[in-house]
Structure 1
Amino acid sequence: MTTPWGELELARFPEDPRDRLRAWDASDEFLLRHLAEREEQGAALSGTVVVAGDRWGALVTALARHRPVQITDSYLAQEATRANLARNGVETGTVRLLTTQDPPPDRVDVFLVRVPKSLALLENLLLRLAPAVHEGTVVVGTGMVKEIHTSTLQLFERVLGPTRTSLAQRKARLIFSTPDVSLPRPANPWPYTYALPDGIGAVSGRTVVNHAGVFCADRLDIGTRFFLQHLPESRAARRVVDLGCGNGVVGTAMALAHPEAEVLFVDESFQAVASAEATYKANDVPGHAEFRVGDGLAAVPAGSVDLVLNNPPFHSHQATTDTTAWRMFAGARRALRPGGELWVIGNRHLGYHVKLRRLFGNSQLVASDPKFVVLRAVKK
């Protein structure tokens, strides 16, 4: 990536030479050009610089000389940031890495926001950072035109103060907010809690807790509802993984139905794993559970798992890709014991049965409806 201060070598995480998606986009470049223009006009960045939503560390790597604070919900983004800082010779500790579950800084002098896909995550982020913002804080958001909506601007204005946007450049746009510390801010509605409907097995009527940014945070999505109606009934599985756990309702259902099983909840989202743990605890589930933020099953010993349950995403931010699903399936195959099973739910059109047959040599249709399929693959 070419920046006003030189070129950077950047990669996504985990690095894959076959991946043609870049670790930055035009909105990152637009923001950096704007900051360089401010410097030329004598308004260099100073004080505590906070960068929220930096997707692969491009922004904090470019701004490392300002010793910024990065706030992210993504384990993969945090690992990409570490790798990109090292790749460009930035010393460890130059950038302070925080998650969306960590307490934010007490004072923010420059607040840079890469607009996330989730409006709820943006709302939670702005509400948590607002008390640290003062009248002199420089607030600049950035995103692609298709990511910035009227609701996005209204949220900045409602939480921080008067807001305007730039003209678009290369399909990217900037957001400028002028902090109004006298603005009465709404209470933070996150995390959000609701009761599950009846007719979905062990979790019927149970409580779900969702932190901001978790998929379908205000209701049970139809895919998960279908999956819950077709979960494995065998009690032979002693070590179960809810892979890409989201709010943890699938793993919680297995734990309730099979209290003798150990359930590992894993997701790359800090918000998701916090949600899964809160959901599990809210239902007084018997048995043993572990909650882990990580890169899928990369940290799980090979041949140590009996059953993996998975509803893989098919987007990486705004990009549609099957890379994540493929890595999840491959990770599951490695982690499963011989005879262990991977159960997957997905949209019919995604063709996951083809990938499972390539990896496992088999794929069985467990259930289907006009939109979804539940598939089972067994490790030989």
Structure 2
Amino acid sequence: MTDRMRTPWAELTLTRFPADPRERLRAWDAADEYLLRQLAETGTDLSGTVVVVGDRWGALTTALAAHRPTQITDSFLTQEATRANLRRASADEDSVRLLTTQDPAPERVDVLLVRVPKSLALLEDQLLRLAPALHKGTVVVGTGMVKEIHTSTLKLFERIIGPTRTSLAEKKARLIHSTVGTPGDRGASPWPYRYELPDDIGPSSGRTVVNHAGVFCAERLDIGTRFFLQHLPEPSGAARVVDLGCGNGVVGTAVALTAPEAELLFVDESYQAVASAQATYRVNEMDGPAEFRVGDGLAGIADGSVDLVLNNPPFHTHQATTDATAWRMFTGARRALRPGGELWVIGNRHLGYHLKLRKLFGNSQLVASDAKFVVLKAVKQ
């Protein structure tokens, strides 16, 4: 969906990435508007180093492009959306510094703007990384929809940054104002976090999983992945296997354990996830061929070059429920698979992925199921 956001300085045409005219979700919301309006109304000095953390689709970064902000994001799609929106606004792309959550933090921050993420762990990780760059004069403002800001969110700002208060809600959005206090005991970052896999999931039993902050189910093995691990295929020979939306890489690593000659590709749009997958693969002393890629699904992968795709697609984008990501993943898998290649999917029963697979592949086979999950297989004809 293309839409126009009114800011105190200009009206901007913004889209998500990849742009889809059928997409009904906007690239900005009331929380973005509220923050920008607050900066203008209070006359916040934006001449220093402005850092924007967690920008959803580049709305904040694009609106502030004239002030040469630094954007920090965990999302490849956010970076691409930001680039596209900057071009659309005729802004100088070189005026904006695009960093990932895996890059070193800026040495000094004069204005810190935080779009509160869904993951409290990711917020903690990023605030701890940025805290040493803050000083007494740093302006710190967070923003989010009311349903995204909890007592735990405010306590995190309070512990890591300093005294914290919230604004009144406007259009179901709220601001967080923190004053940089005297550095105290912020506590050591628990990330990356490690845990051992349970003993009842086959060849992966007892293996170590490494998780950076913000990765799905970073502190334990989720029940869907547990079920998937119990029903994975065992490719033969030098098959090319993709762990699509790899998260911490536990699925692809499990395949590598049973098929050491397989060529693995781990891909995710999250920088935290791909770093986790690489760490999981290495800590288990895997030495087979493996590539770790941050990107938009299978974009950039040659047609007909893959033998097997393993996928646990997300059905949320931030707070919105949508099947758009799953559909793009399935479509990309069909294009990338060789004739006879297979897509294996784990999903909640109620999502009806079998219907999408039949529409796209012409077939869908139920491999395994329980009360909540199904494992499906589609074969490229």
Q: TM-score, normalised by structure 1?
A: 0.98
Cross-structure match for 1:45: 46
Match of residue 10, structure 2, among 6, 17, 32: 6
Contact 1:241 1:266 in 2 (8 A): yes
Deviation at 1:235, TM superposition (A): 1.4
| Structure 2 equivalent of residue 242 of structure 1 | 243
Counterpart residue number, 1:124: 125
Match of 2:366 in 1: 365
Displacement after TM superposition at 1:237 (Å): 6.2
What residue number does 2:279 align with?
Answer: 278
CA distance in 2, matches of 1:111, 1:165: 16
Aligned partner of 2:34 in structure 1 is 30
The answer to whether the 8 Å contact 1:194/1:218 transfers is yes
Q: Count matched residues.
A: 377
Q: How far apart are 1:222 and its partner, in Å?
A: 0.3
Q: Which residue does 1:217 correspond to in 2?
A: 218
- How do residues 141-290 of structure 1 correspond to structure 2 at under 5 angstroms? 141-235=142-236, 238-290=239-291
Whichever residue aligns with residue 66 of structure 1, its letter is: H
Q: Would the aligned equivalents of 2:68 and 2:97 in 1 still touch at CA under 8 Å? A: yes
Question: Displacement of 1:299 after TM fit?
Answer: 1.0
1:78 and 1:97 in contact (8 A); partners too: yes
Secondary structure (helix, strand or coil) at the match of 2:162 reads: coil
Q: For the residues of structure 1 that align with 2:173 and 2:346, how far apart are their CA atoms?
A: 35
- RMSD of the alignment, in Å? 0.8
Matched residue SS, 2:110: strand
Amino acid at match of 1:235: S
Alpha-carbon separation, structure 2, partners of 1:196 and 1:6: 52
Q: 1:101 deviation in Å?
A: 0.1
- Counterpart contact for 1:73–1:271, Cα < 8 Å: yes
Equivalent pair of 1:46/1:110 in contact (CA under 8 Å): no
Q: Distance in 2 between matches of 1:350 and 1:92?
A: 39
Identity of aligned residues (%): 78
Q: 1:20 to 1:237 in 2, by over 3 A?
A: farther
Unaligned runs of 5+ in 2: none
2:26 is the alignment partner of 1:16: no
Give the distance between the partners of 2:332 and 2:238, measured in 1 at CA: 18
Q: Deviations over 1:67-107 (max 9, x none)?
A: 00000000000000000001100112111000000001000
Aligned partner of residue 342 in structure 1, secondary structure: strand
1:38 CA drift (Å) = 1.4
Q: CA deviation at 1:199?
A: 1.3
Q: Note the C-alpha offset of 1:45.
A: 1.9
- Paired with 2:8 and 2:26, the residues of 1 have a C-alpha distance of 18
Report the 3-state secondary structure (helix = DSSP H, G, I; strand = E; otherwise coil) of the residue aligned with 2:224.
Answer: helix
Say which SS state the counterpart of residue 343 (structure 1) adopts. strand
Instruction: Return the alpha-carbon distance in structure 2 between the equivalents of residues 269 and 158 of structure 1.
Output: 27
Secondary structure of 1:131's counterpart equals helix
Q: Is the 8 A contact 1:113 1:142 kept in 2?
A: yes
What is the distance in 2 between the residues matched to 1:237 and 1:320?
Answer: 37
- Which segments of 5 or more consecutive residues in structure 1 lack a partner in the other structure? none
| 2:237–2:261 CA contact under 8 A, matched in 1 | no
2:42 alignment partner, SS class? helix
Q: CA deviation at 1:183?
A: 2.1
Report the CA distance shift for 1:361/1:347 in structure 2 as closer, same or farther (over 3 A).
same
Measure how far apart 1:182 and its partner are. Answer: 2.7
Give the Å deviation of 1:6: 1.3
User: What pairs with 1:320-335 in structure 2 (closer than 5 Å)?
Assistant: 320-335=321-336
